[in-house]
Amino acid sequence: MSKGGKGYARVNLAALVLFLAFSGVAYRLVDLQLVKADRLSALAEDQRYRLADLDPTRGCILDRDGEVLAISKEAYSIYATPYLVEDPEMAAAELSLVLQKPRQELEEKLKSDGGFVYLERKVSPETAEEIEALGIAGIGLEKESKRYYPQGSLASHVLGYVGTDNVGLSGIELQYDETLAGKEGEAAVELDPMGDPIPGVTKMIERPVDGSDIQLTIDSQVQFKLQEELARSVQESGAKNGSGLVMDCHTGEILAMSSWPDYDANLFPSVPAETARTRPVTDAFEPGSVLKMVTAMAALQERTVTPGLVINVPRIIEIGEYEFKDDHPMPRDDLTFAEIIAYSSNLGTIKTAQALGKEKLASYLEACGLGKPTGIDFPGEAAGIVPDPGSWTQTSLPTIAIGQGITVTPLQLACVAAIIANGGTRVTPHLLLREIARDGESVEYEIPEGERVISANTAASLRYVLGEVVRMGTGTRAAMTLYNCAGKTGTAMKPDPAGGYREAYIATFAGMAPMEDPKLVAVITLDEPGTVYGGLAAAPCFARVMEFALQNLEVTPSLEKVNTRDKVVNEE
Kindly report, residue by residue over 431-466, the tens digit of the pLDDT. Answer: 999 999 988 899 999 999 999 999 999 999 999 999
Predicted pLDDT at 436: 95
Q: How far apart are CA 164 and CA 122, in angstroms?
A: 8
Active site (annotated) includes residue 72: no
Predicted pLDDT at 495: 86
Strands 520-527 and 501-513: antiparallel
Residues 6+ apart with CB under 8 A from 295: 349, 352, 353, 356, 361, 401, 402
Strands 432-436 and 442-444: antiparallel
Predicted pLDDT at 192: 59
Helix 358-367 to helix 292-301 angle, to the nearest 10 degrees?
Answer: 110
Q: Give 330's Cβ-side CA count (13 Å radius).
A: 25
Is the peptide bond preceding residue 261 cis, with omega within 30 degrees of 0? yes
Among 72, 77, 170, 289, the active-site one is 289
Contact criterion met (CB below 8 Å) for 278 and 171: yes
The pTM (predicted TM-score) of the whole model is: 0.84
DSSP bridge pairs for 336? 310
Predicted pLDDT at 523: 98
Q: Which domains does the chain have, with CATH numbers?
A: 220-552 (3.40.710.10)
Predicted pLDDT at 568: 45
* pLDDT tens track, the chain, 572 positions: 555 566 667 766 766 667 666 666 666 666 556 555 566 555 555 555 566 566 788 999 999 999 999 999 887 888 888 888 888 888 888 888 888 888 888 888 888 877 778 888 878 888 888 888 888 888 888 777 889 999 999 999 999 999 888 899 999 999 999 999 988 776 666 655 555 555 554 566 777 788 999 999 999 999 999 999 999 999 999 999 999 999 999 999 999 999 999 999 999 888 999 999 999 999 999 999 999 999 999 999 999 999 999 999 999 999 988 889 988 889 999 999 999 999 999 999 999 999 999 999 999 999 999 999 999 999 999 999 999 999 999 999 999 999 999 999 999 999 999 999 999 999 999 999 999 998 889 999 999 999 999 999 999 999 999 999 999 999 999 999 999 999 999 999 888 888 778 889 999 999 999 999 999 999 999 999 998 889 999 999 999 999 999 999 999 999 887 776 544 444 45
Count of CB atoms situated within 10 Å of the CB of 428: 17
Assign 3-class secondary structure to 132-154.
HHHCCCCEEEEEEEEEECCCCCC
Q: How far apart are CA 245 and CA 416, in angstroms?
A: 13
